Chains A and B, each alone.
Chain A
């Protein structure tokens, strides 16, 4: 199977391993073949037929994305017949595609637009039709506009295979074929977890986030509102992608600067409450270990994951940590601790979150997320939406003056920033739990066994107890992508999971691969974002949550010790059983 094949592509010879696809071989030969249904992280579909090429000796054109090369193969990607076929295929798609590109969220970032340009479409020759399917904005997080769907099925794979959710499927047949939910029910009514991975997969504007930009502009313009903003860890390593910076750029200080210029009154960091989460969740874990609580305890930071377990494993909710997510803890504290400290009326504080996530929009709207009737978080923007606002404001993002977060809710540690990566919550928790339990300094900070892009990562950590005799073995696991989470949950359900602590993040790679991040979130891009997250961690002076001075002050001034009364009200929550169907 390791035999090499010499392939001629448009007259240029290239040597590749036999079985390589024509698409890959052509790339090596310096020939770009347009594609639509092809996605570097997904299975071959070969359904859009945009990438067809002429293979000498073959009766019909072959799709470059699926067709394997053989030694001596002669391929033409630019014969007049191929060029004509490719253009016709795209023109066929466009005959039913809405012509509202200028108003479309994907304008200038649209794969269909790019392909249309590259294959040379310059007219609409075929009879036109619009399907007039309803736009589904029921969830307030993920919007589906089926008219713009080109049936590439990438969202179906993201939903069913990557996430193991499968609320989207190809339905009907022939010309009526379309991607839909069962019975075309709105997303709000089905067991969609609103993770937004379908948005990441979509090549057009058929899937996008619910737009909250205008609400935020209005709040910023309201003189009676004190508008504060929090930024999730994963935003800083990705937003540059949409604003002219290379993938993997750490743009933390540009981000804070931009937010201030947009008019936010307080520029804070979700990392602060990530550190707080470690304190609360770490304490909860120790309590469960000591008092015989439900194990394994599973993290609760990822709102897509929460919705997933509520729909798919409603009888296992006791495993979830009762901690609110850092986003919600932040909101609750901004409207209590911060308000009191600065003598603001909580009603006048408007909390905006910048999240790599679409499910966070849902989370902020959950009825439980309002202490005493005051919503913790008022508006959630995705990384992409913030980039849009920065564009609207005309800011020259790469050249902004670098600035710091405001105090105290902007003070954080390296442990908090790695919340943005799969395994990060686990690693941050272990750094703290180790030192709290053993009362010794951790010899090596990096728990590399829970890092990386394997779906499920397992580790076992020995905690030498202070009495010098016993030691406590903590078995942990981290999963990202809900199909991986399902593997763990099946074990839990069947009583086969001997873990003490499990971290689950909905999205592949963790929050850096979230549904609200710049598109596309390919594996290649995720790896660069992960690296940036760990670089960010290493660059921090303090890298353990329990050493965050602002968190310590918060406990001393306001919360008292972890798991106390007030904290229960502000920092903890409960879950609801939902149906799978």
Chain B
């Protein structure tokens, strides 16, 4: 089993944060944008990242953490390279989302909110992705897939390996 450590050197984190803050602005109201940009690389927000953001924006760390933990798209826990979000809202449920979720779980060998051993995939469920006419749907990182069947969902996952 290969353990990929996604933690980076503090120095690099700080540089990334400085850059993001420069791009978005130093005001508190840019916090969400800044966190969003910083998460792109690693799929989660490390402690060092939040510390550096708090320092740059002159905010308490707990406030930054409190804000980050409010939003589903952010994670303060390590996630895999690909975050798989299976929609479980009512329209997808009607279309058989439960079967999709079961197939994805079985294929990845993880439960919801878990990450595969090789750190490739984290499985999450999500509220509506707004593509209800073509449900069931799932999202892998920023990419949305619709009209899923259990087989097709697995095929798509395989294409990410």
**A residues with CB within 8 A of B:** 160, 165-173, 180-183, 190, 580-581
Known A172-B69, A182-B50; judge A581-B55 contact (CB<8 A): yes
A47, chain B: closest CB distance, angstroms: 15
Interface of B, secondary structure class, is: helix
Q: How far is the CA of A182 from the CA of B59 in the complex (A)?
A: 12
Residues on the B chain within 8 Å of A168, using CB: 62
Q: How far is the CA of A548 from the CA of B50 in the complex (A)?
A: 53
Known A171-B65, A173-B69; judge A183-B60 contact (CB<8 A): no
B68, chain A: closest CB distance, angstroms: 9
* Contact between chains at A182 and B61 (CB < 8 Å): yes
Q: How far is the CA of A171 from the CA of B59 in the complex (A)?
A: 15
Q: How far is the CA of A173 from the CA of B50 in the complex (A)?
A: 18
Known A182-B50, A581-B51; judge A169-B62 contact (CB<8 A): yes
Residues on the A chain within 8 Å of B65, using CB: 169, 171, 182-183
Can you offer 10 A-B residue contacts whose CB atoms are under 8 A?
A160-B63, A167-B62, A168-B62, A169-B62, A171-B65, A173-B70, A182-B50, A182-B66, A190-B61, A190-B62
Q: How far is the CA of A180 from the CA of B63 in the complex (A)?
A: 10
Q: How far is the CA of A580 from the CA of B71 in the complex (A)?
A: 25
Q: How far is the CA of A183 from the CA of B47 in the complex (A)?
A: 8
B60, chain A: closest CB distance, angstroms: 3
Q: How far is the CA of A168 from the CA of B60 in the complex (A)?
A: 9
- Cross-chain contact of A160 among B51, B55, B60, B71 (Cβ < 8 A): B60
* Contact between chains at B47 and A166 (CB < 8 Å): no
Interface residue tally on B, bucketed by range: 10 to 19
Residues on the A chain within 8 Å of B71, using CB: 173
Interface of A, secondary structure class, is: loop
**B residues with CB within 8 A of A:** 47, 50-51, 54-55, 59-66, 69-72, 76
Residue of A nearest to B59 (CB): A166
Known A160-B60, A167-B60, A182-B61; judge A581-B66 contact (CB<8 A): no
* Contact between chains at A166 and B60 (CB < 8 Å): yes
Residues on the A chain within 8 Å of B62, using CB: 166-169, 171, 180-182, 190
Residues on the B chain within 8 Å of A167, using CB: 60-62
Residues on the B chain within 8 Å of A180, using CB: 62, 66
Residue of A nearest to B64 (CB): A182
Residues on the B chain within 8 Å of A173, using CB: 69-72
Residue of A nearest to B58 (CB): A580
* Contact between chains at A581 and B63 (CB < 8 Å): no
* Contact between chains at B63 and A166 (CB < 8 Å): yes
B114, chain A: closest CB distance, angstroms: 17
Residue of B nearest to A180 (CB): B62
* Contact between chains at A170 and B60 (CB < 8 Å): no
Q: How far is the CA of A81 from the CA of B71 in the complex (A)?
A: 35
Given contact pairs A166-B62, A167-B60, A172-B70, enumerate 11 new A-B contacts (beta carbons under 8 Å): A165-B60, A166-B63, A169-B60, A169-B62, A171-B62, A171-B69, A173-B69, A173-B70, A183-B76, A580-B55, A581-B61
